[in-house]
Chain A
Amino acid sequence: MNKKRDIELTAARRRNDYRLILDIVSPGSRVLDLGCGAGQLLTLLEADKNIVGYGVELDGDKIIECVESGLSVFQGDLDEGLRDFDDGSFDYVILNQTLPVTHKPPYVVDEMLRVGKRGIISFANFAYWRIRWRLLTGGRMPVGESIPYEWYDTPNIHHLTIQDFFLFCRRFRVTILDRHYFSALEGGHVKHSQRLPNWFAAYGMFVITRGD
């Protein structure tokens, strides 16, 4: 087997977001990973959960990595929606660390929940205390583990906080079924309940569905 890929997968297994998703997704599900990158999460889900998985990715080089791993990927732009995808055709639609990159978050989330029975969204919390502290004391756009880009060189165009996400869900009638908080992509702690998450969680992960 491909050694480089094996090493990458071993590293990927340490990621909190991947581990949480592996816990959430039930075996044999149909899963769509939006912005699937090189396909590590899908590979793990296929290996551990025997899912039927598809990815959507824009970047041609990342698609080639997916193809190398034998994954099923569609080249496409999330901001153009999922119009070729049938309603309710997936058990889970995943948007992992990708929401701030989208141009039209309400549209992308709406499409997610049209195509998927459930959505899994995870993003870095801009109101995490370390980020607040950096902004407060440094007076500059924070650059750190959870937001590793300079302001002029970031793919993120819609930074948000956990509080913003709660308001977003209320505004766009999205129901949160389950929530998880973690302090780093790797290591740190993972919690299912967190006091003042908007202060103390570096990342949030939410299982969502369409509200009534």
Chain B
Amino acid sequence: MTVIKSNHENHAADDSVGVVETRQVELFTADDPLHLECGTEFAPVTLAYETYGTLSEARDNAILICHALSGDAHAAGVHSPEDPKPGWWDRMIGPGKAFDTEKYFVICSNVLGGCKGSTGPSTNSPRMDKPHALGFPMVTIHDMVVAQKRLVEHLGIDRLLSVTGGSMGGMQALDWTVSFPDSVVSAIPIATTYRLSAQGIAFNEVGRQAIFADPHWNNGDYYGAEPPDVGLALARMIGHITYLSDKSMHEKFGRDLRYRDKYAYDFQQEFQVESYLHYQGEKFIKRFDANTYLYLTKAMDYFDLVDGYHSLTESLKRATAKFLMIAFTSDWLFPAAQNKQIANALRTNGSDVTYVEIRSDYGHDAFLLEFEELTKLISAFLGFLYEEKAVQ
């Protein structure tokens, strides 16, 4: 869920998609609103998106990347030649990479409810002529997918070669396979779940309460005034703990002190891990909207593939895609066992599914960091589909 820190990669490198731009398109209008799961009809809806690579003439090489809680449409490349910070999954998307832009047309869009160019609580309500704030309707993972489907159609694509994402992005990928089975050839849900555990919901709720408790939050009506930075930073700090593992935290920070070589017996930040969390919080408030954090965490809490069905197996009977499910051994927020349950249900149904557990100490964050293992698997998986497509 974190965005990879700007790194020392050379952006002019052969394996970068280079300079890209985020585009926006209005997909739902007052005459043709988006029907949300909560019952509301909502318009207008704009999605921000980026694309990399070229759509084939047969329009059969498109891959949709779904981002996690704090991600955005900017998955690869840079926004200008001087931009030091590539997109959040830049190591996975580009010429010769897992999502090889020489072969595939890769799409990534900011989710409905997001704050990076798509319609969300921070965008203006045309009716009110000010940001929606808490007037924004409650959106679900399925609603995000319905909006993405419209975007994919807008790009002239009936059927995606694959849909993928980690964490909340994996939830979207799963929803795609059951909501639009005829529109996805394959899916690669990574480090995800078919419904959050009580523990997952609990952490989300603590994050939300941190925002609510910030006086600047002002019932969500803070646009144009000072935003609830303290609350949002605190929510991010809590989130960050859940993205790491005990082991990775121990190895990264241990009990090391920063700025001091012995205890000062006061409440200043002195342990490394404290300053790391504060740094993550500070960084996050510069790029994220507190209300979006509230809406997206709630969308994750509501997500439940079994809702309306007797069992996960029955729910997944709708899916016809070929699946590659990937989990990480040290992920305790979206544990391997939950990913495996999905794979087991698919197998019971006779669906085409592979389940892989990557050994990693990075915790949930592994889906952004274990790019070598992910690349091997995903290249192999997509390579087979690509060859098969060529044979047909």
Binding site for B on A (CB under 8 A): 1-2, 30, 52, 54, 60, 63-75, 84-86, 89
Kindly list chain A residues whose C-beta atoms are within 8 Å of the C-beta of B318.
Answer: none
Q: How far is the CA of A89 from the CA of B347 in the complex (A)?
A: 10
Q: How far is the CA of A85 from the CA of B381 in the complex (A)?
A: 24
Binding site for A on B (CB under 8 A): 322, 324, 340, 343-344, 347-348, 350, 352-359, 373, 376-377, 380-381, 383-385, 387-388, 391
List 10 contacting pairs A-B, 8 Å CB cutoff, sorted by A.
A1-B387, A60-B356, A64-B377, A67-B381, A70-B388, A72-B347, A73-B354, A74-B347, A84-B340, A84-B344
Question: Is A75 a contact partner of B384 (Cβ separation < 8 A)?
Answer: no
What is the distance, in angstroms, from B304's C-beta to the closest C-beta of chain A?
A: 21
The contact of A70 among B343, B356, B376, B384, by CB within 8 Å, is: B384
Question: Is A64 a contact partner of B354 (Cβ separation < 8 A)?
Answer: no
Question: Is B387 a contact partner of A71 (Cβ separation < 8 A)?
Answer: no
The contact of B347 among A1, A54, A63, A65, by CB within 8 Å, is: A54
What is the distance, in angstroms, from B243's C-beta to the closest C-beta of chain A?
A: 23
| Cβ-closest chain B residue relative to A67 | B380
| Cβ-closest chain B residue relative to A66 | B354
Question: Is B350 a contact partner of A30 (Cβ separation < 8 A)?
Answer: yes
Q: A67-B377, A67-B384 are in contact. Are A72 and B391 (CB under 8 A)?
A: no
Most chain-B Cβ atoms within 10 A of its Cβ — which of A52, A63, A74? A74
Kindly list chain B residues whose C-beta atoms are within 8 Å of the C-beta of A66.
Answer: 354
Q: How far is the CA of A2 from the CA of B377 in the complex (A)?
A: 16
Kindly list chain B residues whose C-beta atoms are within 8 Å of the C-beta of A70.
Answer: 322, 384-385, 388
Kindly list chain A residues whose C-beta atoms are within 8 Å of the C-beta of B358.
Answer: 60
Question: Is B354 a contact partner of A71 (Cβ separation < 8 A)?
Answer: yes
| Cβ-closest chain B residue relative to A69 | B384
Q: A54-B347, A84-B344, A86-B348 are in contact. Are A68 and B384 (CB under 8 A)?
A: yes
Q: A60-B373, A74-B355 are in contact. Are A67 and B350 (CB under 8 A)?
A: no
Q: How far is the CA of A86 from the CA of B311 in the complex (A)?
A: 15
Closest 8 CB pairs of A and B: A70-B384, A68-B380, A67-B380, A84-B344, A74-B355, A73-B354, A75-B356, A64-B380
Q: A64-B376, A64-B380 are in contact. Are A74 and B343 (CB under 8 A)?
A: yes
What is the distance, in angstroms, from B117's C-beta to the closest C-beta of chain A?
A: 35
Most chain-B Cβ atoms within 10 A of its Cβ — which of A1, A60, A66, A75? A75
Kindly list chain A residues whose C-beta atoms are within 8 Å of the C-beta of B380.
Answer: 64-65, 67-68
List the count of A-B residue pairs having beta carbons below 8 Å apart: 54
What is the distance, in angstroms, from B176's C-beta to the closest C-beta of chain A?
A: 20
Question: Is B348 a contact partner of A67 (Cβ separation < 8 A)?
Answer: no
What is the distance, in angstroms, from A155's C-beta to the closest C-beta of chain B?
A: 19
Kindly list chain B residues whose C-beta atoms are within 8 Å of the C-beta of A54.
Answer: 347
What is the distance, in angstroms, from A78's C-beta to the closest C-beta of chain B?
A: 15
The contact of B391 among A1, A67, A73, A85, by CB within 8 Å, is: A1
Q: How far is the CA of A72 from the CA of B354 in the complex (A)?
A: 5
What is the distance, in angstroms, from A92's C-beta to the closest C-beta of chain B?
A: 15
Question: Is A67 a contact partner of B354 (Cβ separation < 8 A)?
Answer: yes
| Cβ-closest chain B residue relative to A68 | B380
What is the distance, in angstroms, from B319's C-beta to the closest C-beta of chain A?
A: 14
Kindly list chain A residues whose C-beta atoms are within 8 Å of the C-beta of B359.
Answer: 60
Question: Is B356 a contact partner of A68 (Cβ separation < 8 A)?
Answer: no
| Cβ-closest chain A residue relative to B350 | A52
Kindly list chain B residues whose C-beta atoms are within 8 Å of the C-beta of A68.
Answer: 380, 383-384
What is the distance, in angstroms, from B21's C-beta to the closest C-beta of chain A?
A: 34
Kindly list chain A residues whose C-beta atoms are within 8 Å of the C-beta of B377.
Answer: 63-64, 67
Kindly list chain A residues whose C-beta atoms are within 8 Å of the C-beta of B373.
Answer: 60
What is the distance, in angstroms, from B9's C-beta to the closest C-beta of chain A?
A: 25
What is the distance, in angstroms, from B371's C-beta to the closest C-beta of chain A?
A: 15
What is the distance, in angstroms, from B350's C-beta to the closest C-beta of chain A?
A: 5
Q: How far is the CA of A65 from the CA of B352 in the complex (A)?
A: 16
Q: How far is the CA of A19 from the CA of B391 in the complex (A)?
A: 27
